[in-house]
Amino acid sequence: MDTLHADLLVIGFGKGGKTLAATMGRAGKRVVMVEQSAKMYGGTCINIGCVPTKALIHRASERPDGADRAKWYAESVAWTAELTSAMRGKNFRMLDTLDSVTVVTGTGAFLDEHTVEVVAGDDRLEITADTIVINTGAQNVIPDIPGLRDSPHLVTGTDLIAGPDMPHRITILGAGYQGLEFAAMLSSYGTEVTVLESTPRILPREDDDIAQAVRDILDGEGITFVTSARVTRVEDTDDAAVVHYEHDGAAATVTADLVLAATGRAPRTDGLRLEAAGVRSTARGAVEVDAHLRTNRPHIFAVGDVNGGPQFTYVSLDDHRIVADQLLGEGRRSTADRVAVPFTVFMTPPLARVGLTEAEARATGRPVRVAAKLIADVMAMPRASILGDTRGLMKFVVDAETDAILGAAILSVDAQEIVNTVALAMRSGTTAGTLRDSIWTHPSSTEALNEVLATVVR
C-alpha cells in the first residue's frame, strides 16, 4: 500500500476546506486534499447547490417569448452543467497548481487519529497528517414514508438539477426554504407544482406576515400548497407516483411525475469511521466541535455543513478563517465572533433575512418597534417599478430603547443585496435611525430604507 505524509490533510473539497488548503499551501505547508468524486471538485455550492440552482432560476427568467418550455428547460440544464464544469475545473486548478498541494480522488476513512485510508477502485493510499480537517458536507434527508425511498419517481435536489427532462407535474415534500426555492424555479419553467407541508403554514420559522406574503406571491404563480398534510405513503404507477396524505381528517392523493424530498440535509459522516479516530459526534450526527472548530482530538477540525453549523457556503468560508487563525495566526477568532449572518431564499422576488424575527425578538422580553411596508407602497423605491416587480414587503425589528436593528426580513427585488447592508449595520452597531437618514444612490433598492425605517407600524 502506498503512503503519504502531510502537514495538513483535508477530507472534502468544499468551500472551507479548499480555501484552507490553498491558504496553507501558499504558506509552504505540505497539504493533501481528498475528494471522493471528480464531479465534486469545489464542493456542494458550485456543483449541486447554490450555483446550479440559481443559474436555473435565472435562466427561467430569460426564456424568450414563445420558446418551448421543455426545450428551454433542457437547454438551461445543459448550460448550467457547462457553467459548473468550468467552475469545477477552475477550483481543481486552484489547488493543483500549488506545488505543495496534492489532490487525491477517492473515498477517505480514518484508520486512527492521524491516519486516513483513501480507496479508489483497487487502489489504496494511507495518508498520515499532523493536522486533519473534516469537510465532507451534508446530504439530503429522505423521510421514512412507506414507498418513498424505493420509488423510481423520488428525486432530491441534486437529482433534479441534473435531469434534462422538465417534469410536467411535481410534488414537493416540505415548504421550508429549499422546498420553496425549487417550487418557484420549477413553476417558472411551467411545471405544475404541489407542495405538501406538515406544519400549519409554509416557512414555519418565519413570522406569520412574512410567510403569508411569500405564499401570496407563490399562489399567484399557480403553485398549490397543502399545509397540515401528513403524508402516509407513496404508490407507484407505470409512469407516475401517487402521494397519499391526510388533511383535515380526510384522505387525499396527488399524482406527479416526480416527488422531491425537500425535508432538509444532514451532516455527511457515514463511512468516515470517526470512531477509529476517537472523534465524537452529536446526537444529530454532526462532528462535535468547539468554538474554534476543534474536535475532541485537538489536531482534528471540522468545517462546513458537517460540523452542524448553519449550512451556508459563506459560513464554511468563515470556518476556514477560524481554523487558519488556529494554525497560522494568533488563535483568537471563533464562532462566537459571528453576528448577524444573513441568508436568502432565491424565489422571485427573493426573500432575505438577518437577525431575529419579530416573534423571536418579543420573546426576549425587550421593548420592540416594528417598521414594515409593502414594496408596492414604497414611493422611494422606483427600481422595483423599473424592473416590473413591486411584489413583497420590507420589515425591520428594532430595539425601542437603543434603536439597534434586531432583525430584518426583505422580500423584494435586490433583497439579496440589501440584506448585506443591513447585516453590516447590525455588526457595526449602526442604528435604524442612521440607516433611515443615510444617503443612498438613486434609483436603487437600498434607498427604500429611508422610507420604510421612517414608518413604525406597530
Q: Which of 247, 292, 299, 442 is catalytic?
A: 442
Do the domains 154-263 and 343-452 sit in the same CATH topology, yes or no? Answer: no
58 is catalytic: no
- Nearest Cα residue to 269 out of 107, 51, 95, 452: 107
Q: How many CA atoms lie within 13 A of 373 on its CB side?
A: 18
Residue reference for cell 387525499: 252
C-beta atoms surrounding 312 within 10 Å: 19
Domain 343-452 part of CATH 3.30.390.30: yes
Class of domain 2-138+266-337: alpha beta
CA distances from 403 to 395, 419, 420, 424, 438 (A): 15, 18, 19, 15, 15
Domain boundaries, the chain: 2-138+266-337, 154-263, 343-452
Cα–Cα distance measured from residue 243 to residue 196, given in angstroms and rounded to the nearest whole number: 10
C-beta atoms surrounding 107 within 10 Å: 15
pTM over 0.85: yes
pLDDT one digit per residue (tens) for the chain, 458 residues:
688 999 999 999 999 999 999 999 999 999 999 999 999 999 988 998 889 999 999 999 899 988 999 999 999 999 999 999 999 999 999 999 999 999 999 999 999 999 999 999 999 999 999 999 999 999 999 999 999 999 999 999 999 999 999 999 999 999 999 999 999 999 999 999 999 999 999 999 999 999 999 999 999 999 999 999 999 999 999 899 999 999 999 999 999 999 999 999 999 999 999 999 999 999 999 999 999 999 999 999 999 999 999 999 999 999 999 999 999 999 999 999 999 999 999 999 999 999 999 999 999 999 999 999 999 999 999 999 999 999 999 999 999 999 999 999 999 999 999 999 999 999 999 999 999 999 999 999 999 999 999 986 44
154-263: CATH topology is: FAD/NAD(P)-binding domain (3.50.50)
Kindly report the three-state secondary structure assignment for every residue of the chain: CEEEEEEEEEECCCHHHHHHHHHHHHCCCCEEEEECCHHHCCCHHHHCCHHHHHHHHHHHHCCCCCCCHHHHHHHHHHHHHHHHHHHHHHHHHHHHCCCCEEEEECEEEEEECCEEEEEECCEEEEEEEEEEEECCCEEECCCCCCCCCCCCCEECHHHHCCCCCCCCEEEEECCCHHHHHHHHHHHHHCCEEEEECCCCCCCCCCCHHHHHHHHHHHHHCCCEEECCEEEEEEEECCCCEEEEEEECCEEEEEEECEEEECCCEEECCCCCCHHHHCCCECCCCCECCCCCCECCCCCEEECHHHHCCCCCHHHHHHHHHHHHHHHHCCCCCCHHHCCCCCEEECCCCCEEEEECCHHHHHHCCCCEEEEEEEHHHCCCCHHHHHCCCCCCEEEEEEECCCCEEEEEEEECCCHHHHHHHHHHHHHHCCEHHHHHCCCCCCCCCCCHHHHHCCCCCC
